[in-house]
Amino acid sequence: MEISELAAKQKRVLDWRAMLPLVQDLEVRRETETKLAQFSELLYRTWRSGTVDQASQAAIVGLERQLEQLNDEGRIRIVGRSEGPERLH
Protein backbone atom coordinates (compact mmCIF):
# COMPACT_ATOMS: atom_id res chain seq x y z
CA MET A 1 0.00 0.00 0.00
CA GLU A 2 1.27 3.44 -0.94
CA ILE A 3 0.75 6.76 0.83
CA SER A 4 -1.21 7.93 -2.22
CA GLU A 5 -3.85 5.26 -1.52
CA LEU A 6 -4.71 6.88 1.81
CA ALA A 7 -6.69 9.63 0.05
CA ALA A 8 -9.04 7.05 -1.44
CA LYS A 9 -9.49 5.49 1.97
CA GLN A 10 -10.25 8.91 3.47
CA LYS A 11 -12.93 9.33 0.79
CA ARG A 12 -14.52 6.12 2.03
CA VAL A 13 -14.58 7.61 5.54
CA LEU A 14 -16.60 10.53 4.19
CA ASP A 15 -18.99 8.14 2.44
CA TRP A 16 -19.50 6.08 5.58
CA ARG A 17 -20.06 9.21 7.66
CA ALA A 18 -22.67 10.41 5.17
CA MET A 19 -24.58 7.18 5.68
CA LEU A 20 -24.64 7.37 9.48
CA PRO A 21 -27.74 9.58 9.86
CA LEU A 22 -29.73 6.99 7.90
CA VAL A 23 -28.84 4.11 10.22
CA GLN A 24 -31.71 3.42 12.59
CA ASP A 25 -29.92 0.82 14.74
CA LEU A 26 -28.15 2.82 17.46
CA GLU A 27 -25.70 0.03 18.27
CA VAL A 28 -24.56 -0.20 14.65
CA ARG A 29 -24.36 3.60 14.45
CA ARG A 30 -22.26 3.92 17.62
CA GLU A 31 -19.91 1.11 16.64
CA THR A 32 -19.49 2.65 13.19
CA GLU A 33 -18.74 6.06 14.70
CA THR A 34 -16.11 4.52 16.97
CA LYS A 35 -14.47 2.56 14.14
CA LEU A 36 -14.56 5.62 11.87
CA ALA A 37 -12.72 7.67 14.49
CA GLN A 38 -10.10 4.93 14.87
CA PHE A 39 -9.76 4.56 11.11
CA SER A 40 -9.44 8.31 10.53
CA GLU A 41 -6.80 8.61 13.25
CA LEU A 42 -4.86 5.68 11.83
CA LEU A 43 -4.96 7.15 8.31
CA TYR A 44 -3.76 10.50 9.66
CA ARG A 45 -0.91 8.99 11.69
CA THR A 46 0.16 6.89 8.72
CA TRP A 47 0.06 9.87 6.37
CA ARG A 48 2.07 11.99 8.86
CA SER A 49 4.73 9.29 9.10
CA GLY A 50 5.20 9.33 5.33
CA THR A 51 5.31 5.54 5.02
CA VAL A 52 2.92 2.65 5.29
CA ASP A 53 4.62 0.00 7.37
CA GLN A 54 3.37 -3.56 7.65
CA ALA A 55 1.65 -3.00 11.01
CA SER A 56 -0.17 0.10 9.76
CA GLN A 57 -1.24 -1.66 6.60
CA ALA A 58 -2.64 -4.61 8.57
CA ALA A 59 -4.51 -2.26 10.91
CA ILE A 60 -5.91 -0.23 8.00
CA VAL A 61 -7.10 -3.36 6.19
CA GLY A 62 -8.64 -4.78 9.37
CA LEU A 63 -10.54 -1.62 10.26
CA GLU A 64 -11.66 -1.16 6.67
CA ARG A 65 -13.14 -4.68 6.65
CA GLN A 66 -14.95 -4.01 9.92
CA LEU A 67 -16.34 -0.76 8.55
CA GLU A 68 -17.50 -2.50 5.36
CA GLN A 69 -19.37 -5.06 7.48
CA LEU A 70 -20.94 -2.33 9.60
CA ASN A 71 -21.86 -0.41 6.45
CA ASP A 72 -23.58 -3.49 5.04
CA GLU A 73 -25.40 -4.09 8.31
CA GLY A 74 -26.43 -0.45 8.53
CA ARG A 75 -27.79 -0.45 4.97
CA ILE A 76 -29.79 -3.59 5.68
CA ARG A 77 -31.34 -1.96 8.74
CA ILE A 78 -32.25 1.35 7.13
CA VAL A 79 -36.01 1.68 7.28
CA GLY A 80 -38.36 3.97 5.42
CA ARG A 81 -36.00 4.66 2.54
CA SER A 82 -37.16 4.52 -1.06
CA GLU A 83 -33.65 4.30 -2.49
CA GLY A 84 -31.91 0.98 -2.76
CA PRO A 85 -28.56 0.21 -1.13
CA GLU A 86 -26.68 1.17 -4.26
CA ARG A 87 -27.69 4.80 -3.66
CA LEU A 88 -25.75 4.84 -0.37
CA HIS A 89 -22.30 4.18 -1.82
10-residue mean pLDDT series, the chain (89 residues): 86 89 88 95 93 93 94 70 49
With beta carbons less than 8 A apart as the criterion, state whether 35 and 68 touch. Answer: no
Question: How many domains does the structure of the chain reveal?
Answer: 1
CA–CA gap between residue 58 and residue 74 (Å, rounded): 24
Specify the pLDDT at position 41.
95
CA 18 to chain centre: 10
Q: Which domain holds residue 65?
A: 3-88
Backbone angles phi, psi at 77, to 5 degrees: -95, 5
pLDDT of residue 79: 54
DSSP assignment, residue 50? T
Write the CB contacts of 64 (distance below 8 Å, at least 6 apart in sequence).
9, 12, 39
| pLDDT score for 20 | 87
According to the model, what pLDDT value does residue 89 have?
Answer: 46
